Structure 1
Amino acid sequence: MAKISKAELIKLQKKFKTDARIGEEFGITRQAIHQLRKKYGIESRIAGNKERNEEIIKMRDDGKSVESIAKKFDLSIPQTYRIIKETSAAPKKAAKKVSKKETAAPKKAAAPKKAAAPKKAAGKKTGKKK
């Protein structure tokens, strides 16, 4: 793994913004940068974006386009949509799964069964052989 100090990683995070971009600079993976951040106890940039996300929601509520919001905050359009969806949606309770048996109409009580007539025995035929 690359030798990057905690102070250097903090500077790189401000400059390049993403773990992937920092990794590209040092020829290592995004995951390796992530592990270094965890080792040094450095939060990701995304963790402190509550205020930004609230501002994104406010701008969207004011009628701004997702494209203009994404450009202002230097985000991708899909990322902006995800933030809007996750931030503005109130947590929903999971719907209870209902089995087919519970949704079917209640059945009438079954009538008592009658005794079956005795079956004829299969076997020998009665009669004379010719």
Structure 2
Amino acid sequence: MAKISKAQLEKLQKKYKTDDAIGKLFGITRQAVHQLRTKFGIAPVADKHKERDEAIIKAYNAGVSGTALAKKYDLSISQTYRIINESKGGPAKKPAKKTAKKAVKKVAKKAEKPAKKAAKKAVKKAVKKVAKKKGK
């Protein structure tokens, strides 16, 4: 791993912002830079894409499509729309689907089946008994 001091890493982070850019400078991976940051207790840069995000929002509000913006800024379409939606103050993520209720219903149905079978067997048995008594 590269010999980078804590002070050096802090300066590089202010200048280059991303772990990837710092890694390319030293010929190491972004993961190695991340490990150094965590070792030294340096927090990641929170606003590294602030200018880009503001430009995306401004262009989108001016009428540029999300797909065109994704191509221009080399982002996925979903990431582009996530940036746009977060700027509107809406939820960043969709609420989770209500699959738990379905699972509970399935389990309840499966639990009912053996009980229904047992009840049907008891009824059939009683009917046979009655039929035998009438036949005698």
TM-score (norm. length: structure 2): 0.53
| Greater helix fraction, Structure 1 or Structure 2 | 2
Q: CA deviation at 1:87?
A: 5.8
Contact 2:17/2:48, CA 8 A, preserved across alignment: no
Is there any run of 5+ residues in structure 1 with no aligned partner, and where? 119-130
CA distance in 2, matches of 1:27, 1:54: 28
Compute the displacement of 1:39 (Å).
2.5
Query: Is the contact between residue 70 and residue 76 of structure 1 (CA under 8 Å) also seen in structure 2?
Result: yes
Q: CA deviation at 1:59?
A: 3.6
For residues 25-44 of structure 1, the aligned pairs below 5 Å read 25-44=25-44
- Identity of counterpart residues, as a percentage? 44
- Equivalent residues in 2 for 1:1-130 (5 A)? 1-45=1-45, 47-48=46-47, 52=51, 55=54, 56-66=56-66, 67-68=68-69, 71=72, 75-78=73-76, 81-85=78-82, 88=85, 90=91, 91-97=93-99, 98-99=102-103, 101=106, 112-113=123-124, 114-115=127-128
How many residues in Structure 1 have an aligned counterpart in Structure 2? 109
Preserved contact between residue 2 and residue 26 of structure 1 (Cα < 8 Å): yes
CA drift of 1:42 comes to 2.6
Counterpart CA distance in 2 for 1:12 and 1:26 is 11
Distance 1:6 1:60 in 2: 40
CA contact (8 A) 1:53 1:87 kept: no
Unaligned runs of 5+ in 2: 110-115
Q: CA RMSD in A?
A: 3.9
1:34 is displaced (CA, Å) by 0.3
> Counterpart of 1:92 in structure 2: which amino acid?
K
State whether residues 18 and 48 of structure 2, in contact with CA within 8 Å, keep that contact through their aligned partners in structure 1.
Answer: no
Paired letter, 1:77? L
Q: Aligned residue for 1:123?
A: none
Output the CA distance in 1 between the equivalents of 2:70 and 2:75: 8
Give the aligned partner of residue 113 of structure 2: none
SS at match of 1:85: helix
User: Does the aligned pair in 1 maintain the 2:22–2:30 contact within 8 Å?
Assistant: yes
Q: Which has the higher contact order (CA 8 A, sep 6+)?
A: 1
